[in-house]
């Protein structure tokens, strides 16, 4: 076994620069770790405020839902059912009464071709408070209704044309008769 005794056999290494650079990188990493920890703690504090707000809003929602369930329970009692049914009926009558015939006919007049006649109009209000028209139109020729369909579809007030029936002319009624439903965008 050979034991090196001469110190000159091992040359001098310059490790000081590497150690200083490693210490500087380590110090930089410790500073960035501290910054990240500080950011995490501040974010956690902000999230605690947000979680508190969400919990408060959820409690308000639950309270409102409980109150609504209590009110609906009162409305569903047999003594109040008649009043509720009557108020729904009166509200539906008011919605129907709110349809302006003058405005409806003026809007139809703007898009109605000259060789098409309106034979019957029956408006009704859907469950979503939208007005739907049940129209019966007549014309001398079968192709005269096509411009009406196009005008209804392109109009901002009308839309959703759905043809329900077609009747060719007879001896008693010399017109081609078309029955269809169309949505009407009149605000109630």
Each residue of 26-38: b (16+ CB within 10 Å) or e? eeeeeeeeeeeee
CB 160 within 8 A of CB 183: yes
- Judged against a pLDDT cut of 80, whether residue 110 lies above it is answered with yes
The residues, ordered by sequence, that sit 6+ positions from 55 with a Cβ below 8 Å of its Cβ are none
Q: Which of 37-51, 77-91, 168-182 has the lowest mean pLDDT?
A: 77-91
Q: Which residue has the tokens 């005269």?
A: 144
Two tokens, residue 4: 């090196």
- Mean pLDDT value across residues 106-127: 86
- Judged against a pLDDT cut of 90, whether residue 126 lies above it is answered with no
CB 172 within 8 A of CB 134: no
Amino acid 101: pLDDT: 83
- Mean pLDDT value across residues 6-21: 73
The reply to whether the predicted model has a pTM over 0.85 is no
Domain 99-184 in CATH 3.40.50.620: no
- Mean pLDDT value across residues 162-170: 84
Residue 44 to residue 67: CA distance in whole angstroms: 34
What does the DSSP 8-state code read for residue 13? P
- Judged against a pLDDT cut of 70, whether residue 148 lies above it is answered with yes
Sorting pLDDT into bands at 50, 70 and 90, what band is 27? very high
Each residue of 123-149: b (16+ CB within 10 Å) or e? eebeeeeebebebbbbbeeeebbebbe
Sorting pLDDT into bands at 50, 70 and 90, what band is 9? low
Domain locations in the chain as residue ranges:
1-76, 99-184
Sorting pLDDT into bands at 50, 70 and 90, what band is 65? very high
Question: What does pLDDT average to over the chain?
Answer: 85
Sorting pLDDT into bands at 50, 70 and 90, what band is 68? very high
């Amino acid at each position: 076994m050979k034991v090196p005794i001469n110190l000159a056999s091992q040359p001098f290494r310059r490790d000081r620069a590497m150690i200083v650079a490693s210490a500087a990188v380590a110090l930089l990493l410790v500073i960035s770790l501290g910054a990240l920890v500080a950011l995490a703690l501040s974010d956690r504090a902000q999230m605690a405020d947000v979680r508190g707000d969400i919990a408060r809003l959820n409690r308000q929602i639950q309270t409102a839902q409980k109150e609504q369930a209590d009110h609906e329970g009162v409305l569903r009692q047999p003594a109040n059912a008649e009043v509720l049914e009557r108020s729904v009926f009166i509200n539906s009558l008011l919605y129907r009464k709110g349809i302006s015939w003058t405005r409806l006919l003026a809007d139809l007049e703007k898009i109605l071709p000259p060789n098409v006649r309106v034979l019957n109009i029956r408006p009704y209000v859907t469950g979503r408070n939208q007005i739907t028209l049940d129209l019966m139109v007549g014309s001398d020729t079968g192709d005269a209704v096509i411009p009406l369909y196009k005008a209804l579809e392109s109009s901002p007030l009308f839309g959703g044309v759905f043809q329900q029936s077609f009747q060719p002319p007879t001896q008693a009624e010399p017109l081609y008769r078309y029955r269809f439903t169309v949505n009407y965008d009149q605000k109630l």
